[in-house]
């Protein structure tokens, strides 16, 4: 009778240990799943940030080209005004005096 009690206790102990092991594995899997979910969310957030930055770079490039073009027009306009104005005409008085 005693060996039956011992084997029953041993089986219960093994069963308890297996349940504890399974619980530990399940907890570890849950932690891994949470970590994967966190990383996926972080990647998605970084992708959205990259998309936003890329769109901003494109907008800034476009604005830069527009301003560059406007500056060329203004530069040409100023150059034309200066060449038409007598104030900015070069005088060659030194060579006339000699």
Residues 26-77: tens digit of each pLDDT: 999 999 999 999 999 999 999 999 999 999 999 999 999 999 999 999 999 9
Compute the distance between CA of residue 52 and CA of residue 27 in angstroms, rounded to an integer.
Answer: 38
Per-residue pLDDT for 13 more than 90? Answer: no
Rg (CA), the chain: 41
The answer to whether the pTM exceeds 0.95 is: no
Per-residue pLDDT for 98 more than 50? Answer: no
Q: Of 56 and 94, which is predicted with more confidence?
A: 56
Compute the distance between CA of residue 57 and CA of residue 63 in angstroms, rounded to an integer.
Answer: 10
**Count, residues in the chain:** 98
pLDDT at 19: 81
Structure tokens at 94: 């030194």
Per-residue pLDDT for 1 more than 80? Answer: no
């Amino acid at each position: 009778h005693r060996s039956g009690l011992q084997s029953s206790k041993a089986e219960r102990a093994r069963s308890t240990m297996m349940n504890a092991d399974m619980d530990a594995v399940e907890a570890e899997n849950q932690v891994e799943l949470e970590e994967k979910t966190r990383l996926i969310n972080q990647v998605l957030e970084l992708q959205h940030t990259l998309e936003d930055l890329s769109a901003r770079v494109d907008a800034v490039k476009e604005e830069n080209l527009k301003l560059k073009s406007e500056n060329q027009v203004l530069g040409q306009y100023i150059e034309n005004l200066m060449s038409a104005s007598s104030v900015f005409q070069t005088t060659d008085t030194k060579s006339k005096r000699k």
